[in-house]
């Protein structure tokens, strides 16, 4: 075998490695989130899967919250149990953000206290089916006061953040994030 043919073979091998490695890289990157058990949702429900608001403790803080000035709370949900009502009233004049996350991937909705038109936030997180059922029961004479949001999937979590402006105001910020109501509300659903 001539040296030239040998070189061609080696070059072809290297090219194949580059192409295949690229494919492996892209596929593994896209597939990885599907098999993750260390993502935020799974870490939260490993602690407590109930649909209620709870403070992000020290154990989860180092992963979920980068900024020491942020106090956070989370509320995992499962809409199979019914629609989720999220409410804050009255709003303090302090930063408060509420974001809605599916089990994996980026948030599908977020709002801050300033985005609320009134002095309160009243939201209902529903599935498409629940929305249709609720709209069927709506009284056409009565204005709808709540913001209805359709979730992309049944499960996920709500994440609430507020700021500690000065070192002594941590407890106040914790009370603020925990004051966000987050619970399954079956009263909206028509009787089956």
Partner 1 sequence: MHRLLAILLVMLASLALGLGATLWVVSSNPQIGALRAGPWTSDLRAATAPDPYTRARQARDGSVGLVLTEGLKAAARVDDSGRRLFANCTYRVSGNVPPSRFWTLTAQDGNGQPIDTALHRANWTSSELMRGTGGHWEIVVSPSAQPGNWLPVSGNAPFQLMLMLYEPSILGGTASVNREQFPHIQRGDCR
Q: Binding residues for partner 1, per CB under 8 A?
A: 9, 13, 16-17, 19-30, 32-33, 36, 38-40, 43, 60, 62-70, 72, 95, 97, 99, 101, 104-107, 110-112, 114-115, 159, 161, 163-167
Q: Which residues of 68-95 are buried (b: 16+ CB within 10 A; e: fewer)?
A: eebbbbbbbbebeebbbbbbbeebeeee
| CB 5 to partner 1: min, Å | 14
Q: Which is nearer to partner 1, 50 or 65 (CB)?
A: 65
Q: Which is nearer to partner 1, 6 or 186 (CB)?
A: 6
| CB 87 to partner 1: min, Å | 19
Based on DSSP, count helices (H) and strands (E) in the chain, helices before strands: 5, 9
| CB 70 to partner 1: min, Å | 8
| CB 98 to partner 1: min, Å | 9
- Please give the order of strands across the beta sheet that includes 121-126: 147-150, 121-126, 84-88, 181-184
3-state helix, strand, coil in the chain (%, to 5): 40, 25, 35
């Amino acid at each position: 075998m001539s040296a030239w043919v040998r070189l061609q073979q080696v070059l072809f091998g290297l090219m194949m490695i580059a192409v295949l490695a690229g494919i492996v890289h892209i596929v593994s990157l896209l597939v990885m989130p599907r098999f993750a058990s260390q993502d935020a949702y799974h870490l939260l429900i490993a602690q407590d899967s109930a649909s209620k608001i709870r403070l992000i403790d020290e154990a989860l803080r180092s992963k979920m919250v980068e900024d020491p000035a942020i106090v956070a709370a989370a509320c995992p949900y499962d809409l199979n149990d019914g629609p989720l009502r999220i409410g804050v009233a009255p709003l303090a004049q302090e930063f408060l953000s509420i974001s809605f996350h599916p089990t994996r991937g980026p948030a599908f909705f977020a709002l801050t206290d300033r985005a609320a038109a009134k002095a309160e936030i009243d939201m209902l997180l529903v599935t498409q089916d629940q929305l249709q059922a609720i709209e069927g029961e709506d009284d056409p004479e009565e204005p709808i006061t709540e913001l209805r949001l359709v979730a992309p999937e049944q499960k996920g979590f709500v994440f609430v953040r507020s700021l500690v402006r000065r070192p002594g105001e941590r407890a106040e910020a914790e009370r603020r994030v925990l004051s966000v109501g987050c619970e399954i509300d079956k009263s909206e659903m028509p009787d089956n």
